[in-house]
Amino acid sequence: MNEEYGYIEVDLFPPEINDPSHPEVVRFRHLLEEVAKDYNCNLTYFELDHGTVIFSFDSDELIAEIIRILQNGK
């Protein structure tokens, strides 16, 4: 089974943060992994590009929920 899920891209950190081992980035990744556990899914993709975080889960439900939260401003 090879399903493709959407990616979420968020400008979350200042552009000079481009190291995935930066403490704030590590904390955010752990937060995403905990949310994935709550939804019985996995964080399947995580990338940092000059402050922009790109990530995905293997759950359309969770991705849709995060997009809804981002669009509504929480």
Are the beta carbons of 20 and 48 closer than 8 angstroms? yes
CA separation for the pair 23, 8 (Å, rounded): 21
- Which tens digit of pLDDT belongs to each residue from 5-52? 689 999 999 999 999 999 999 999 999 999 999 999 999 999 999 999
The total domain count for the chain is 1
Domain span at residue 54 reads: 8-72
Can you tell me whether residue 54 is helix, strand or coil?
Answer: strand
Q: Return the pLDDT at 1.
A: 37
- Residues 46-55: tens digit of each pLDDT: 999 999 999 9
Full-model pTM = 0.86
Q: Is residue 41 part of a domain?
A: yes
pLDDT of residue 44: 96
